[in-house]
Chains A and B, each alone.
Chain A
């Protein structure tokens, strides 16, 4: 098992994501700098939160063209697992690896709080049976307002691609959507932070179950060992 956490100039949750997998789940984890053109052996690529390239132009718009993202795209096309958290979710949407886009919160405020999330049935690994019906995760973002057109939303629903919805919508997201996966089921993105929810001093430890669910899509045995 080998977890690769990307680092862009402006990433600020790279250490949190690293610790979630390294200390939370006890898995071999390493960083990959955005200038790398290859990922090496990786079983999961995490695109962490922050403000990659200062969020200039649009959140994720410039990060999408960094050298490492070419490798991530190739890796995902071969079926590799990818998890984008917060700014990482924005980057994956900008890259077209996940459907939809994230715009300014409807309140125009940066929202920083712990949210109750409804777990949707998004397939074998990510569903209320493995995660429970509700989980609590922190959010911290100014552009988390998920948008997709009607046809796109219908596809998300028909393919069970919605992962999580906010119980109390903090940012104006369409239908309270907080996280989605791609149709193939190997690319995951969410605005809430599982990487800020795994230590006893965190507001919840539900991030561990989320990380396990993402991994157990491919690696059920490894995950049983970390449970």
Chain B
């Protein structure tokens, strides 16, 4: 199965990259911009089935390694096997 993990800066954490990207978008003519946040996408390919046990393992890996819960949120999509 293919998994996409999305890691984004927490809403209440300053995102200097997002601010800079927002300014650039405005200078390129984007009107009405209310916010820009920069995160990352991590794509995984894993052999096996999407089970509750697998999800709990994936959640732990997201918390321990792929994101830093102090400053980031994560969510993931599991795409068909």
Binding site for B on A (CB under 8 A): 57-58, 61-62, 65, 93-94, 100-101, 103-108, 145, 147-149, 172
Contacts and interface: CB of A to CB of B under 8 A. Distances in A.
A172 B14 contact: yes
Contacts of B20: 108
A104 B68 contact: no
A147 B13 contact: yes
Contacts, number: 39
Interface in B1-50: 9, 12-17, 20
B65 A103 contact: no
19 contacts: A61-B68, A62-B65, A94-B68, A101-B68, A101-B70, A103-B14, A103-B15, A103-B71, A104-B17, A105-B16, A106-B14, A108-B16, A145-B14, A145-B16, A147-B13, A147-B70, A147-B71, A148-B70, A149-B12
A57 B66 contact: yes
B14 A61 contact: no
Contacts of B15: 103
A134 B53 CA distance: 53
A106 B16 contact: yes
B13 A103 contact: yes
A103 B39 CA distance: 12
A94 B72 CA distance: 12
Q: How large is the interface on B (under 10, 10 to 19, 20 to 34, 35 or more residues)?
A: 10 to 19
A57 B16 contact: no
Interface string B57-69: 0000000011010
Contact of A57 (B13, B17, B65): B65
Nearest to A65: B65
Contacts of A61: 65, 68
Given A103-B15, A103-B16, 11 more contacts: A57-B66, A61-B65, A62-B65, A65-B65, A101-B68, A106-B14, A106-B16, A108-B17, A145-B14, A145-B16, A147-B71
A152 to B, nearest CB: 8
Contacts of A57: 65-66
Contacts of A108: 16-17, 20
A101 B69 CA distance: 9
Contacts of A65: 65
A58 B68 contact: yes
B16 A104 contact: yes
Contacts of B70: 93, 100-101, 147-149
B6 to A, nearest CB: 14
Contacts of B65: 57, 61-62, 65
A103 B37 CA distance: 14
| Residue among B13, B15, B17, B66 with max Cβ neighbours from chain A (10 Å) | B13
A94 B66 CA distance: 11
Contacts of B16: 103-108, 145, 172
